[in-house]
A = this chain, B = another copy of it.
Amino acid sequence: MRLLPRLTPIALGAAVCLNSLIAADAPSADEQMLRALYTAALTTSPAYENLRTLVTKHPGRLAGSKNLEGAVRWGEALLQASGADRTELQPVTVPHWERGAPESVRLGTHSLAAAALGNSGATPADGLTAPVVELQSLDALATADVKGKIAFFNRPMNPRHISTGLAYSEAGDQRNRGPAAAAKLGAVGVLVRSLTLTLDDHPHTGNTTFPPGTPRIPAVALSTVAADRLSAALRQDPALTVEMQVHSRTLEDALSHNVLGELKGSAFPEKIILVGGHLDSWDIAPGAHDDGAGCVQSIEVLRLLKAVGYTPRHTLRVVLFTNEENGLRGATAYSTAAKAKNEIHVLALETDSGGYQPRSFNLGNAAGNAHQLAARWQPLFAPYGVGHFQKGTGGADVGPLLAHGATVAGLTPDSQRYFDIHHTAEDSLDKVNKRELELGAAAMAALVYLVDQHGL
Please list the residues of chain A having a beta carbon within 8 angstroms of any beta carbon in chain B.
1-18, 38-39, 42-43, 159-166, 168-170, 172, 175-176, 197-198, 206-207, 290-291, 324-326, 328, 352-353, 357, 359-360, 362, 383-385, 387-388, 390-396, 399, 410, 412, 414-417, 420, 422, 433-436, 439
Q: Which residues of B contact A385 (CB under 8 A)?
A: 162, 359, 414
Cα separation A385 to B165 with both chains bound (whole Å): 14
Q: State whether A13 touches B362 (Cβ < 8 A).
A: yes
Q: Which residues of B contact A10 (CB under 8 A)?
A: 163-166, 168-169, 353, 362, 410, 412, 415
Further contacts, 20 of them, CB under 8 A, given A8-B168, A12-B362: A1-B352, A2-B206, A2-B207, A4-B169, A6-B393, A7-B165, A9-B352, A9-B393, A10-B165, A11-B170, A13-B392, A16-B390, A42-B159, A162-B383, A357-B416, A385-B414, A416-B435, A416-B436, A417-B435, A420-B433
Q: Could you pull out 13 A-B pairs where Cβ atoms are within 8 angstroms?
A: A2-B326, A3-B207, A7-B165, A8-B165, A8-B169, A9-B412, A12-B392, A13-B163, A13-B392, A15-B166, A198-B434, A357-B416, A420-B433
Chain B nearest CB: distance from A137 CB in Å?
A: 16
Closest to A397 in B: B2
Cα separation A38 to B161 with both chains bound (whole Å): 9
Q: State whether A197 touches B435 (Cβ < 8 A).
A: yes
Q: Which residues of B contact A434 (CB under 8 A)?
A: 198
Residue in contact with A43 in the complex, picked from B160, B165, B198, B410, CB distance below 8 Å: B160
Residue in contact with A7 in the complex, picked from B9, B169, B390, B436, CB distance below 8 Å: B169
Chain B nearest CB: distance from A310 CB in Å?
A: 19
Q: Which residues of B contact A410 (CB under 8 A)?
A: 9-10, 13
Cα separation A425 to B292 with both chains bound (whole Å): 29
Contacts A207-B3, A352-B1; is A16 near B392 (CB within 8 Å)? yes
Chain B nearest CB: distance from A278 CB in Å?
A: 8
Q: Which residues of B contact A11 (CB under 8 A)?
A: 163, 165-166, 168-170
For A3, A163, A198, A396, which residue has the most chain B Cβ atoms within 10 angstroms? A3
Contacts A3-B206, A3-B207, A169-B3; is A162 near B12 (CB within 8 Å)? no
Chain B nearest CB: distance from A197 CB in Å?
A: 7
Chain B nearest CB: distance from A225 CB in Å?
A: 15
Chain B nearest CB: distance from A98 CB in Å?
A: 18
Q: Which residues of B contact A412 (CB under 8 A)?
A: 9-10, 13
Q: State whether B416 touches A439 (Cβ < 8 A).
A: yes
Q: State whether B43 touches A159 (Cβ < 8 A).
A: yes
Closest to A438 in B: B159
Cα separation A145 to B8 with both chains bound (whole Å): 32
Chain B nearest CB: distance from A373 CB in Å?
A: 16
Cα separation A197 to B42 with both chains bound (whole Å): 10
Contacts A325-B2, A357-B357; is A390 near B435 (CB within 8 Å)? no
Closest to A167 in B: B11
Chain B nearest CB: distance from A119 CB in Å?
A: 12
Contacts A43-B159, A416-B357; is A172 near B16 (CB within 8 Å)? no
Q: Which residues of B contact A415 (CB under 8 A)?
A: 10, 14
Q: State whether B416 touches A3 (Cβ < 8 A).
A: no
Cα separation A169 to B13 with both chains bound (whole Å): 12
Closest to A383 in B: B162
Chain B nearest CB: distance from A48 CB in Å?
A: 10
Residue in contact with A14 in the complex, picked from B6, B166, B175, CB distance below 8 Å: B166
3 shortest interchain CB distances as A-B pairs: A10-B165, A14-B163, A13-B362
Q: Which residues of B contact A165 (CB under 8 A)?
A: 7-11, 13-14
Closest to A294 in B: B1
